[in-house]
Amino acid sequence: MSDYKKKLAIGAIAAGIIGYGIGLLTAPKSGKETRDDIKRGAINTTKHLETRLKSYHNEITELVAEAKIKGLSYKGKAKEELKKLTDSAIEARHRISLALTALHEGDKIDEDLEIAISEATVSIDKLNNFVSKEKDNN
């Protein structure tokens, strides 16, 4: 996923949340109904984020495994480059795990979430590009 698409997705989610919140606060409902709606919205957003983070985690895990298998035949510079990419991807996966833990514990994760998503998308793109490039070279 490109940096532009990542920023667009995060912006769309943020705009949706803000719009949803404004709509709830201006709706002609009782305070209790509004609070319940906000709570449901927060729960749904958390579930969406959790699903997305788990998807990134799984995708990185699969890509690292695939890259390591393909990398068995690599030599020299290609093998070194693959090692750097897989190490970076493993670190991104770890950040995703930390963000998931924070999400479950109710900690504030805005900055951590943005970093985790950014690192995950970059790692996924780089691993995909490297593996496909090396496939074309063989």
Q: Cα angle at 52 between 94 and 20, to 5 degrees? A: 130
Q: What kind and span of H or E run contains 136?
A: helix 110-137
Residue 134: per-residue pLDDT: 60
Which has more pLDDT, 32 or 59? Answer: 59
The full set of domains in the chain, from first to last, is 3-137 (1.20.120)
Q: Does 100 have pLDDT greater than 80?
A: yes
Residues in Cβ contact with 60 at an 8 Å cutoff, skipping those fewer than 6 apart: 89, 90, 92, 93, 96, 120, 123, 124, 127
Q: Encoding tokens for residue 29?
A: 């409902």
Q: Encoding tokens for residue 74?
A: 């690599």
Residue 89: per-residue pLDDT: 92
Q: What kind and span of H or E run contains 60?
A: helix 31-71
As a whole number, the mean pLDDT across the chain is: 80
Which has more pLDDT, 133 or 86? Answer: 86
At what angle are helices 3-26 and 110-137 packed, to 10 degrees? Answer: 150
Q: Does 63 have pLDDT greater than 80?
A: yes
Q: Closest by alpha carbon to 68, among 87, 91, 51?
A: 87
Confidence of residue 138 (pLDDT cuts 50, 70, 90): low
Q: Residue 27 has what DSSP assignment?
A: S
Q: What is the mean predicted confidence (pLDDT) over 72-101?
A: 88
Which has more pLDDT, 114 or 83? Answer: 83
